Amino acid sequence: MSDPNIGRVLNNRYQLVELLGQGSMGRVYAAKDLLLGGVPVALKFLSQAMLTQKMRDRFEREATTCALLGQRSIHIIRVSDYGIDEDGIPFYVMEYLKGNSLSEIIMQQAIRLPRFLNLSRQICQGLQAAHNGIPINGEMCPIVHRDIKPSNIYILLDDSYGELAKVLDFGIAKALQPDANQTNCFMGTLAYASPEQMEGRELDGRSDIYSMGVMMYQMLTGRMPVNAETHTFGSWYRAHHESHPRPLRESNTNLKVPKALENLIMSCLAKEPDDRPQTATEIVNTLAPLEQRFGSGREIGRRIEEVLSKVPITEKPSTKQTPSAPDDICRLASWPSDKPLGDISFPKPIPTSSGTLPALWVMFSQEEINRRRICTRYNQFLFAPAPHPALLWLTVLYTKENGPRWLSSYIDLKTKYGQQLVRLLSEAGKYRILFFSREQPQKCANIMTSTIAPAQCKMFRSWVMMAQSGHNPHAYGTTKNQLKQALEGLKPKILLKLESMYTSDGEDIAG
């Protein structure tokens, strides 16, 4: 039976496209925002069975909480609108996420350490924003999620971030207001609930930290830190209060993790809140040096050092090319383990003995790489100074037979990383494009060089200087949308230029 809601247009703006999911609280639909030219969004409706005033208030509070938190962190789902349809059913509009829930990812296999560190940090940054609070009646009130679990974490691909983690579903979140009465009953998911949550006690952010500990343990091992004999409240109550988490290696004999990381996870799982990290910020600060040491760049650095150590020191000139040549160093690179295997691209500089090389990392199928081995390369950079200074880095791979392949990355010019990357591009005047196949990601399949026009390099320096001025710290997403729209307007002109300049031998065109 077809869904009668498909095709409906709400408030003369949102057209429902398909049902994405449903639960006891309501339904979520994919939709088009007709006012903004069909931009995809998602709409969440409150279930008709829940149309009590209490549930309406909770639903509206969830929408407000997500709207405010989404402005504070990219790691929390953004809500942009709230309304009531012609039947009196409330709904709210949120960003459309295309990816997978963390629970789907964990079900496939345990997560490797570099990817784990990247995702865990992002999730904790989302919690950090929630626990820091939102303004209610003129006061900042911390938000306790109360239902942190893998199915409430969504992982999607982002042009700038690669894998991006977002915290969802603040339906039972609690705002900690000074004069508000806490709920003295259990709400949450049994397997991830903290001991104090099971008791119906007053909660703070440390309860979410316990749930985060359960989830981190599961991400690494594929198993739960404690298990209940039956899936009942009483059985899980005893498990969270009396059972002690097994060491990580007992749950996954192939797992090797730094002792500092295991200590962090076990401290998050402490029975008493006072024995856990007291804030999500503490977890982020502990993960940061671990990610720097064991993240994706570590393996590349180790392999480069290994090659350089084998290069003999000799005074005799040699015509033999050594592996320290820039392209040979690039060929040693393997796909970062914290990046998904899919058709994505992202900027990532490569350190060499003669300096750091700007590079664009690209993953296609091997068949697509073969089709683009001889192609025209074109690049162009678009800058938007406001409301938040950002840069769109466009690379186009073009052949007459296969058409264009558009590769776009976004750089936040208010960050130190973004400014350093743009300066590096300006100084180098070119960048490498590293191709990896989904079938063999451990090996770089091809390397190309794309030259940047001298006039463009001069503009980089002025853009970095302009980025030093004032900005709106929550408007990076708005600027990215502006740049996306500008690119769509430029695509036909760029395509005409590529078609007119195309040569079968391949060519590098600086925009």
What are the residue numbers of the active site? Answer: 147
DSSP 115-183: HHHHHHHHHHHHHHHHHH-EEETTEEE-EE-S---GGGEEEEEETTTEEEEEE---TT-EE--TTPPPP
> Which pair of structure tokens corresponds to residue 70?
């989404």
Q: What is the spatial distance between Cα 94 and Cα 69, in angstroms, rounded to a whole number?
A: 12
> Which pair of structure tokens corresponds to residue 298?
């570590």
Instruction: Please check whether residue 303 is in contact with residue 251, taking contact to mean a CB–CB distance below 8 angstroms.
Output: no
Closest-CA residue to 270 (of 351, 356, 327, 206): 206
Instruction: Please check whether residue 9 is in contact with residue 15, taking contact to mean a CB–CB distance below 8 angstroms.
Output: yes
Residues whose CB is less than 8 angstroms from the CB of residue 151 and which lie 6 or more positions away in sequence, other chains included:
101, 102, 103
DSSP 171-219: TT-EE--TTPPPP-S--S-GGG--HHHHTT----HHHHHHHHHHHHHHH
In a 3-state reduction of DSSP, which class is residue 12?
Answer: coil
Q: What is the spatial distance between Cα 474 and Cα 81, in angstroms, rounded to a whole number?
A: 17
| Strand extents, DSSP E, 229-295 | none
Closest-CA residue to 297 (of 351, 356, 257): 351
Eight-class DSSP state of 459: H
Eight-class DSSP state of 225: S
Alpha helices in 335-441 (DSSP H): 366-371, 416-428
Rounded to an integer, what is the distance from CA 436 to the centroid of its chain? 21
Return the percent helix, strand and coil in the chain, to nearest 5. 40, 25, 35
The burial of 281, by beta-carbon neighbours within 10 Å (0-12 exposed, 13-18 middle, 19 or more buried), is given as middle
Closest-CA residue to 408 (of 494, 505, 296, 328): 494
